[in-house]
Amino acid sequence: MQELLEHLARLLVDEPEQVAVEQFQEEDGTVVLELSVAPDDYGRVIGRGGRTANALRTVLKAAAVPQKRRVLVDIVD
C-alpha cells in the first residue's frame, strides 16, 4: 500500500523526487500512511475541496480490503 500511495502521488506532483511516505502500524492493526510532498505540491495532492486527497484515500482503502486491513492516509507538512 505504501508503494501504491507513492506511485499515485508521484503522478500528481511537479517534483516527484520530493514524495515520501512513512508507514506506521497502530495497536489495533490499522496502517497509517503519512504522505509528504514538496511545499508547492500540497495543493495538487489535496485538490480543490479535498477531492484529490479523498480519492487517494478511497483507492487505498479499496486496496486494503483483500488484506483485511484498515488504512488511514495523512498528508503532513
pLDDT of residue 77: 82
One digit per residue, the tens of pLDDT, for the chain of length 77 reads: 999 999 999 999 999 999 999 999 999 989 999 999 999 999 999 999 999 999 999 999 999 999 999 999 999 98
Q: How many domains does the chain have?
A: 1
Question: How many other β-carbons are positioned within 10 Å of the β-carbon of residue 72?
Answer: 15
The CATH number given to whatever domain includes residue 15 is 3.30.300.20
Q: What sign has the CA pseudo-torsion 23, 25, 31, 34?
A: negative
pTM recorded for the entire structure: 0.91
Rounded to 10 degrees, the C-alpha dihedral 11/14/18/21 comes to: -30
* Segments forming the whole domain that contains residue 31: 2-75
**Rounded-to-integer distance, Cα 68 and Cα 7, Å:** 22
Evaluate whether 1 touches 70 at the Cβ level (below 8 Å): no
